[in-house]
Amino acid sequence: MVGITPQDYRQDGRSEGAVSPLDGFAFQRYWESRAYELGGGGYQAPGQRVGDFLKQRPSTAFGSVEPSYKPGVLPTDLAAADRPSLPDYALLAIREALPAFDRQIAGFAMADAVLTGVETRTSSPLRINRGKDLQSLNVAGLYPAGEGAGYAGGIMSAGVDGIEVAEAVGIAMLGRKA
């Protein structure tokens, strides 16, 4: 997983200021379209051997690890300069992280492991803004929480946010200040 910020997906070309709430959807849709094209346009997923990805060369076949995804995975170059499957900073982060993880978990960067692109649905592409008391800014009594509201990107952060929101609800019910 590579973390991204609103600045990474803003669609208006500016480098600062508020980002449109729907820009995350446009970003997600763009990279999903790229995956469709890279997979050959028939709902196969684009894939690459980790060894080839790290050596920055295209995959033409898979090795000892056979992808199980149906209808199939097309061996390709996920980092092709003219048609990458991910933004540059994501490719760089993954290329840096795989060998680092491999030093802690032997085999993590196994050459025949298959990278399949692109996973865009692990986190919500929008955030419902809330105040210090964790209530929605424009709907009093509504507590946006967890993944779907844009306050978590994983199981642990969703759980922690849930605890914080439950505490905020309790504080409000008891009539105390947060």
Ligand X SMILES: Cc1cc2nc3c(=O)[nH]c(=O)nc-3n(C[C@H](O)[C@H](O)[C@H](O)COP(=O)(O)OP(=O)(O)OC[C@H]3O[C@@H](n4cnc5c(N)ncnc54)[C@H](O)[C@@H]3O)c2cc1C
Say whether 56 sits in a helix, a strand or coil.
coil
Q: How far apart are CA 160 and CA 154, in angstroms?
A: 10
Binding range to ligand X, per CB under 6 A, among 14-22, 24-32, 56-64, 141-149: 141-149
- Residue 115's H or E segment, with its range, is strand 114-116
Chain positions 51 to 90 lying near ligand X, rule: CB under 6 A, are none
Q: How far is the CB of 38 from ligand X (least distance, A)?
A: 19
Burial 138-156 (b: 16+ CB within 10 A, else e): eeeeebbbbbebbbbeeee
Please, which residue, 73 or 152, has the CB nearer to ligand X?
Answer: 152
Short-list 2, 1, 117, 3, CA closest to 49? 117
Tell me how far apart the terminal alpha carbons of the chain are, to the nearest angstrom.
33
The alpha carbon of 75 is separated from its chain's Cα centroid by a whole number of angstroms, namely 22
Q: Is 74 exposed, middle or buried (0-12, 13-18, 19+ CB in 10 A)?
A: middle
Residue nearest to ligand X (CB): 146
Minimum distance from residue 166 beta carbon to ligand X (Å): 12
Residue closer to ligand X, measured from CB, 20 or 124? 124
Question: How many residues of this chain bind ligand X (CB under 6 A)?
Answer: 10
In the shown chain, the binding pattern of residues 142 to 161 toward ligand X, with x for contact by CB under 6 A and - for none, equals: ----xxx---x-xxx-x---
Could you give the string, one character per residue 97-136, with x where binding to ligand X holds by CB under 6 A and - elsewhere? ------------------------xx--------------
Q: From the CB of 150, what's the least distance to ligand X, in Å? A: 10
- Closest distance to ligand X from the beta carbon of 125 (Å): 12
Binding residues for ligand X, per CB under 6 A?
A: 121-122, 146-148, 152, 154-156, 158
